[in-house]
Amino acid sequence: MARPRTFDEAAVVESAAELFARRGFDAVSIDDLVGHLGVHRHSLYRTFGSKRGLYLRALRATRKRNLYAIAASGDPLEILYTAVISEGIGSLDLLLMAAIEQGAADPEVAAEVAGAFAEVDAVTAALGDGTLSTATLLGLRIRARAGEDVARIAGEFTKRTQADQ
C-alpha cells in the first residue's frame, strides 16, 4: 500500500516554478529540486513523472495564476508594477526562461509560451492606447533581471502616461 502524500502539491509546484524561473530548466537537477523542495525523489517521480513533468506543471500553474492577475488588472500601471517591478513575480521570469531555453526544443513548452504571449498581447491590446506592449513588459523584465532600476523606468512611463491623459 502506498504511503499518503505528505506534501502540498500546489506549494511544491510554486516553489519549483521559482527555482526554474531563477536558474532555468537545464541548470536545475533532480537533486536541486529534492533539496529545494524538501520532497523525496521517489515522491517527485510518482507525482510528476519526471523533472520535465514538474517543469510543465510549474509553467502552466504560473501562467494561469500570475498572468491571470496581470490580465485582471486592466490598469497599465498596475500591470507594469505586477509584471515587472514587484518582488516575487515569477510568471514573466519563468516565461522568459522557457522561451529562451526550452521553447525551440520542446513543442509543449513552445505552446505554453505562445499561449502566454497571446494572453499578454490580448491584455495590452485591450488597453487600446498603445502605451504598453508585451515586448515592453518582457524587455523591462529582462532589464530588471540584469540589475537595472526598472522602478525608475516605470516612473518615467507613469509620467508620460499621465501627461498623455
pTM for the model: 0.80
Per-position pLDDT tens, the chain of length 165:
455 567 899 999 999 999 999 899 999 999 999 999 999 999 999 999 999 999 999 999 988 876 677 767 667 667 666 667 665 445 678 888 899 899 889 999 999 989 888 887 877 777 665 566 778 778 888 888 888 887 777 777 666 666 665
Residue found by looking up cell 509546484 in the block? 13
Helices (H), the chain: 9-23, 30-37, 41-48, 51-62, 68-73, 76-80, 91-97, 107-127, 134-145, 150-164
Q: Rounded to whole angstroms, how far apart are CA atoms 26 and 20?
A: 9
